Amino acid sequence: MEKPVIQYDQGTAQYFVEDLGNDVELEMVLIPSGTFTMGAPKDEKDSRESERPQHQVKVPAFFMGKYPITQAQWKAVAALDQVKRDLEADPSRFKGNNLPVERVSWYGAVEFCTRLSQYSNRSYRLPSEAEWEYACRAGTTTPFHFGEKITSELANYDPRLLGFIPDFEREYRGRTTPVGSFGVANAFGLYDMHGNVWEWCLDDWHSNYEAAPTDGSAWLYENNNLYKKTSHAVLRGGSWFGNSRSCRSAYRYEFNWLESGFIFNTIGFRVVCAFGNSFQ
């Protein structure tokens, strides 16, 4: 198989910047409203029944982090007043201010969003699964937002593992990489949606999309008291330690440990912010 030809295009995106103090900023990109087909078709290579049935979802506009939350951003918010839970100031195995924070529990990510909301007077939270996939695809229907194929020139994953296609460079980095370092954004202006670190979603895990919401909201079993969540959670996007098939836009992973003591150095997150109150 020949090496795929990679073409790069330039684009623009609307965004705002949250000042976290001490020269630490959080860039939030506007994700416009739209309707998309969520999930994978049966003929998509390596797709699974948990990614079906495909269904139409209408997603309202929102803002999403341009990158996964970095260690510098995590430290800034972890220093704010506690709301419900303690946050470890430096949980990551791989150290670096511009590296994505990892070893963050689902509860820790929720606490981060709550503290950031109080600090900024804006409504920050984890993305719903529908928002995450809509933002990742950015209008595409291919397995990856940059096309049918993936290589280690475009994303940080483990090409040595059996994956979506052969990787021609076969470069395994064995760790996280600085956010945005591949220089490959999707059409919405988001980076690192494939690989680097897994990203938490707000939803409870469901084994398929039967009766899934069609309005872009999170699919929760019980109630909206996130600090009492007891069900399994959802991870998206793949990681530096995973194969290429897990980096697909439609891929979803069930994770049954939400506490920090069971969280790996492959798991991080990014945040979203409600569109209506972002500039109040």
Strands 24-31 and 55-59: unpaired
pLDDT given for residue 12 in this prediction: 67
pTM: 0.91
Domain boundaries, the chain: 15-274
Strands 62-65 and 272-274: antiparallel
C-alpha distances (whole Å) from 146 to each of 77, 96, 155, 248 are: 32, 27, 10, 11
Mean pLDDT by 10 residues, the chain (280 residues): 50 86 97 98 95 98 98 98 95 97 94 97 97 98 94 91 56 94 96 98 96 96 70 94 95 82 87 73
CATH number of 15-274: 3.90.1580.10
Q: How far apart are CA 102 and CA 267, in angstroms?
A: 5
Q: How far apart are CA 28 and CA 274, in angstroms?
A: 11
Question: Tokens standing for 247?
Answer: 């980096």
